Amino acid sequence: MVEGNTDLHLADPSIDMSLWAGREDPEPDSLRWHQVVTPVKPDSAPGAALLGFASDAGVARNQGRVGAAEGPRAVRRALAPLAWHRSAPVFDAGDVSCHGNDDLEAAQQRLAERVSTLLGSGHLPLVLGGGHEVAFGSWSGLARHLEAQGEARPRVGIVNLDAHFDLRDPSHVRSSGTPFAQIAAECDTRGWPFRYACLGVSRASNTRALFARARELNALVREDHEIDALRLDAVVRDLQRFMAHCDHLYLTVDLDVLPAAEAPGVSAPAARGVPLAMVETLIESVRDSGKLRLADIAELNPSFDIDGRTAKAAARLIHRLTLDT
């Protein structure tokens, strides 16, 4: 076991390079992530930037199983030993931490600032959750960036791979179950179109009111039982038609979209879910669109992870998402 890049000067104290550790192979061209990831700096060349959102305040407010605040560290540990197949760089941008349930809104704003800064430097932010309340902070950062670029009415497509719509009414309490309703309200205020695709949703886990809300918002919806080997190509075509009418894409993956056997370490494990192989196909379609500006992985809860399965699934998704195309 060797430590990765611990001798580098860390301008951001939230960047813990000790997490990037693993074996080193003697053969040429045998690098692994822990040997390549470096702390992001103001003058870093554009690349993918891993930014943690250490929060489970939204999960707690949503009466779920807390523990997702430790998710970002677990994802980094799972990424560290993976084989390196990129030509562009990857950076660690540290963590935004949420200090208690009352700090959630402020933490989301801090996340938005960091995401906007990374986008302004030419990076692709990959945000590591944390509960799915991460989505409102992530999207807010992209919105800030687009406004700074002078875009008056951008068509931002949200592709959410999730067992839940997360469209609950935020007027009662803002939580991990409300981010896309909050984003819809923000789009309405700004005069922006709200374009939302939720793939893998479970009818058993979402009320009739939530399905009605998705219809009102003209969301693209595909339920978990609709995504199988026979119909996957049709779902990909639906997704591609959705993306064709977007200027920018924000991809968000709630790990509870996966079957419980593949992702036990989440707040609400799925009784059915969408298999990892099919989720990979969907995210690759987003990756290859040329419109991806931002992505996040949400709801990893190491407290309930069995053999690190969920962390490994999250790491594999990031690995696939960042492969050079």
pLDDT per residue over 168-217, tens digit each?
999 989 999 999 999 999 999 999 999 999 999 999 999 999 999 999 99
Query: What's the CA gap between 177 and 197, in Å, rounded?
Result: 16
256 token code pair = 């509870």
Query: What's the CA gap between 154 and 323, in Å, rounded?
Result: 27
The CATH number of the domain where 193 resides is what?
3.40.800.10
pLDDT for residue 9 is more than 70: no
* Under 8 Å between Cβ of 64 and 176: yes
pLDDT tens-place string over residues 144-173:
999 999 999 999 999 999 999 999 999 989
pLDDT tens-place string over residues 256-280:
999 999 999 999 999 999 999 999 9
271 token code pair = 């009784």
- Other CB atoms within a 10 A radius of the CB of residue 292 amount to 19
- Other CB atoms within a 10 A radius of the CB of residue 244 amount to 10
- Give me the residue label for tokens 């790990």: 255
pLDDT tens-place string over residues 23-50:
999 999 999 999 999 999 999 999 999 9
pLDDT given for residue 14 in this prediction: 85
pLDDT for residue 1 is more than 60: no
50 token code pair = 């891993």
pLDDT given for residue 57 in this prediction: 96
SS3 for 300-315 is CCHHHCCCCHHHHHHH
pLDDT given for residue 13 in this prediction: 77
pLDDT tens-place string over residues 109-154:
999 999 999 999 999 999 999 999 999 999 999 999 999 999 999 9
Using DSSP, state whether 18 is helix, strand or coil.
Answer: helix
H-type alpha helices, 80-131: 104-120
pLDDT tens-place string over residues 61-103:
999 999 999 999 999 999 999 999 999 999 999 999 999 999 9
pLDDT given for residue 292 in this prediction: 98
- Structural domain including 57 reads 2-321
What average pLDDT does the chain have? 95
pLDDT given for residue 8 in this prediction: 33
Domain tally, the chain: 1
55 token code pair = 């929060």
pLDDT for residue 325 is more than 80: no
Q: How confident is the model at residue 4 (pLDDT cuts 50, 70, 90)?
A: very low
* Under 8 Å between Cβ of 268 and 262: no
